[in-house]
Structure 1
Amino acid sequence: MCGRYTLVARPEEVQALFDALEAHQAPPRYNIAPSQPILIVREDQPGVRRLVLVRWGLIPGWAKDPSKLANLINARSETAIDKPSFRTAMRHKRCLIPASGFYEWQKRKGTRSQPYLIRPSEGDLVAFAGIWEDWTDPDGGVIETAAILTTAANATLSPIHDRMPAVVQPEDFALWLDTRSVDAKTATSILRPAPEDTFEAVAIGSRVNAVGQDDPGIQNPVDPVSSPPADEPAPDSKPDKGQFDLFD
């Protein structure tokens, strides 16, 4: 899964990679957590890409009471097209999610899970495959939300976790975003584990466990714990209300 990630690239870099109409004005984020605003790239009209802030945690358009739903921050790329919560978005509302890396926790025997920063090997931006939805509350207010699609981990990352975000390569951006002429099955065919040299894993300290910690220091490397992997729950991913929040 992907329960935390980071986006610290300059607005101009994001705009250039995605050929977006305008640069975004969101601040650098080192510890983005569920229910917080995330930046997505979508096509509101053919060939026109826009950067938009939405909430992380997809609410299907048909939901009557979102409080009774699980927090849908991830969707398995292998099955999303068939799931009621995701299939409409897979067909009509695909997006790209810019990222400078993500975090994963390796479960360890006899001690706390070891957090890792999974970052692009060349220091570049990457694009996670995503889907978005809009949901209208009883008072007529509209909330836009999104989820990250995941796939099986590649050999580099599988010792840490068995899943990873599905990364869309730049040459496939247009295909993924084109929901008018590219069907969901064809779009899903490009989602596969990233090439082995895409990411590197860096052990980091436990400050990242707290969503209120959002500064460059949480990414400082540490020596990983030496105990072997084991079944142990990863840190909670509940949002911290003191952080930047688009949806108070």
Structure 2
Amino acid sequence: MCGRYYRRSDKQRIAEAFKVGRLPPGFELPTDYNIAPSTFQPVIRSNAETGERELALMRWGLVPAKIADPDSFKIFSTTNARTESILDKSIWKSPFQQARCLVPVDGFYEWLQRPSLPQPPPIEPEEHGLFGDIQSKPKQPAKPKAGSRPLYKFEMPDGAPYALAGLFSEWRPRKGSTHPPLDTFSIVTTEANELTDPIHDRMLVILHPRDYDRWLNDYDEARPPLDLLRPYESEGMRMTPANRLVGNVRNNGPDMLNGA
């Protein structure tokens, strides 16, 4: 699961990179170096009337349209949709068949989940004569504290913005409800590639620009774009250490991109 990403591109760069049509009047898009679930973020979808690509703000964490009360759905984690179950679970199947979007990012973060990278060995009491010949008792591995695990960021080699495969839902209040309309999205994940695998066994689905139109507009039920939900080529990505302070959503700014 990926629960953090970042966006340093401004609205103009995003509009140019993803060939977005006219921006909404007064649309503001400040940079964000620590994007977390439940926050409102820009996604790109096709306008239902004109077919133009448009930017829309949606909350990260998909809420199905058929839910009576969005607040009652907060106990479920819907930030990521697994490729393997996208047609098996109704919560993903409907938006996959009817409401797909691009999620513009400059990179995403992932904490080390797999101990396959070289790690410094712990110093035991019997080593280096620290405690003479006293043998240490077997220790249970300590559960890593929040912010203690190494953190890495994944971006394009040239630092350009790119698009993640997203699904969205438009919830509208029932009669008598005082809850305002709510648009939400989820990001699709797939198995890891060779670059991300030492860190985590999953990765976000990165789409090639050549596939944007198909992802947004091709709703041929006989040929759903499942083939696009594959790991991105490792050689087309760059992985570098990031700041562990990303673990606290209150921390933000360009220094989040620097290993610490």
Question: Normalising to structure 1: TM-score of the pair?
Answer: 0.83
CA distance, structure 1, for counterparts of residue 235 and residue 54 of structure 2: 29
With 158-167 and 42-51 compared, the bigger mean Cα shift is at 42-51
Larger radius of gyration: 2
| 1:155 aligned counterpart, secondary structure | coil
When residues 74 and 185 of structure 1 are mapped into structure 2, their CA distance, relative to the original with a 3 A threshold, is farther
**Structure 2: distance between partners of 1:34 and 1:22:** 27
Q: In structure 1, the residue corresponding to 2:17 is in which secondary structure? A: helix
Change (3 A) 1:220 1:63: same
Instruction: Indicate the residue corresponding to 1:136 in structure 2.
Output: 172
Q: Distance in 2 between matches of 1:119 and 1:7?
A: 11
Contact 1:175 1:182 in 2 (8 A): no
SS of 1:149's equivalent in the other structure is strand
> 1:91·1:184 contact (CA, 8 Å) conserved in 2?
no
Find the partner of 2:83 among 77, 84, 97: 77
Is 2:22 aligned against 1:19?
no
Corresponding residue to 2:54 among 27, 45, 50 = 50
Aligned residue among 207, 210, 213 for 1:174: 213
Does structure 2 retain, via aligned residues, the 8 Å contact 1:133–1:144?
yes
1:199 corresponds to which of 237, 243, 247:
237
| Residue 37 (structure 2) aligns with | 34
Determine the structure 1 residue equivalent to 2:201: 162
RMSD value, Cα: 1.8
1:116–1:204 CA contact under 8 A, matched in 2: yes
Residues 113-124 of structure 1 mapped to structure 2, 5 A cutoff: 113-124=149-160
Partner Cα separation in structure 2 for residue 164 and residue 147 of structure 1: 14
TM-score by length of structure 2 reads 0.79
The residue type paired with residue 151 of structure 1 is: T
Cα offsets for 1:113-153 (capped at 9, x unmatched): 21111121221111000000011232262100000001111
* Ranges in structure 1 where 5+ consecutive residues have no aligned partner: 223-248
Q: Report the Cα distance in structure 2 between the residues aligned to 1:211 and 1:143, rounded to whole angstroms.
A: 22
Residues 136-175 of structure 1 deviation map (CA, whole Å, 9 limit, x = unaligned): 2322621000000011110011000011110111001010
Output the CA distance in 2 between the equivalents of 1:5 and 1:169: 18
Amino acid in the other structure paired with 2:35: I
Aligned pair count?
221
Rounded Cα–Cα distance in structure 2 between residues aligned with 1:215 and 1:102: 15
Shifted more, 54-63 versus 113-122: the winner is: 113-122
Residue matched to 2:259? 221
Residue identity matched to 2:57:
L
Q: Is 1:146 matched up with 2:185?
A: yes
- Report the Cα offset of residue 64 of structure 1: 2.5
Structure 2 match to 1:100 = 106
- State the Cα distance separating 1:202 from its structure 2 match: 1.4
Q: Which residue of 2 aligns with 1:6?
A: 6
The structure in which a higher percent of residues are strand is: 1
Match of 2:119 in 1: none
Identify the range of structure 1 (142-151 vs 195-204) with the bigger mean alpha-carbon deviation: 195-204
Identity of matched residues, %? 32
Which 4+ runs in 1 deviate beyond 6 A? none
Choose from 62, 68, 71 the match for 2:66: 62
State the 1:47 CA deviation.
3.0
